Structure 1
Amino acid sequence: MGNWVTDRRFYLGFVIAHLLLFFTFEDKTVFWYIFTASMLILISFSIIHESIDDNLPALSYFTIGILSGTALFLLFWAGNLVVDWTGLPLDRQITKLYRWFSPELAWHYIVLILIIAPGEEIFWRGFIQKRILESANASTSILVSALMYASVHFYSGQTALMLAALVAGLVWGSLYAWKRSIPLVVISHIVFDLLLFILFPLR
């Protein structure tokens, strides 16, 4: 077993992710182009260095994925109600995030489902968290990978997005540590995105 603390490829992947997300958030007018390209690069990096875990039958990962993605959306929906009721400044940030980064064109929705959601899970859970799990316990892998996932959203300039990424990272990291199935977390992520951006947007 390797040790993620001294794993050069682990840190190389993390640095690459930071560089890519820096450029992704740098210019909002080309966000969808750069984000899509970034995810393709991270997918390629991940599959070169790690196999994709798939330890569940299709029915199980679809069922758990749909339920968990829906539950995560309901958690965000409840959190949004709290923000509205309390008048927290996060309200303005959430509105900005929807205005700046929500999918608008047909190809945005296609890449969101086919590239971006799968790419984030393949890299953050299937590469980053998997490498941590090789020499650490599940709790450590969940917390560290979620913090790392949240950290790349710093370049958005919005605390709300970092907090959202941290919460989502904890949920998807827990699912991955529990079932060791990338298809499961991909389905959960896709269901969450469909609810958040298409079916029941919060703004």
Structure 2
Amino acid sequence: MIFISVIQSTGEEVFFRGFLLRKIQEKLSGLAAILITAILFGLAHLSYGTWYQVLMPTFIGLVFGYIVIKTNNLYSSITSHITLNLVMFLIAYALKSLIL
């Protein structure tokens, strides 16, 4: 669980905020780069099945994009993403334990 969270979160952040956000920001404004990468980040989660599972990552992508632009530091969004995923895993595990 921890391994998956760290690897997946890091990979997504390196691609969406480390590479894509920076490339878009070279051509457009920081705000446009945040919006575009957040939408793409949300759409990347489309296979999860519901619109909520697209809208939530889109919103989170806005936050992570803002963090990267504001701090000029990819590690801050990587750390935030890993923390979020771990918390979500723990909540899901706790709820599953309560139900079963």
> Greater share of helix residues, 1 or 2?
2
Match of 1:161 in 2: 53
Give the TM-score, by structure 1 length.
0.44
Q: 2:42·2:54 contact (CA, 8 Å) conserved in 1?
A: yes
- Is 2:24 the partner of 1:132? yes
Superposition RMSD on alpha carbons, in Å? 1.5
Superimposed CA distance per residue, residues 124-148 of structure 1 (whole angstroms, 9 cap, x where no aligned partner): 1001111011121111011011011
- The aligned amino acid for 2:31 is S
Secondary structure of the residue aligned to 1:178 is: helix
Query: Larger relative contact order (C-alpha < 8 A, sep ≥ 6)?
Result: 1
1:188 aligns with 2:80: yes
Query: What is aligned with 1:117?
Result: 9
Q: CA deviation at 1:185?
A: 0.6
Matched residue pairs, number? 94
Highest Rg: 1 or 2? Answer: 1
Identity %: 27
Q: TM-score, normalised by structure 2?
A: 0.85
Give structure 1 regions of 4+ aligned residues with deviation exceeding 4 angstroms. none
Structure 2 vs 1, CA of residues 154 and 174 (structure 1 numbering), >3 Å: closer, same or farther? Answer: same
Query: 2-side partners of 1:133 and 1:178: how far apart?
Result: 13
Structure 2 portions without partners, runs of 5+: 96-100
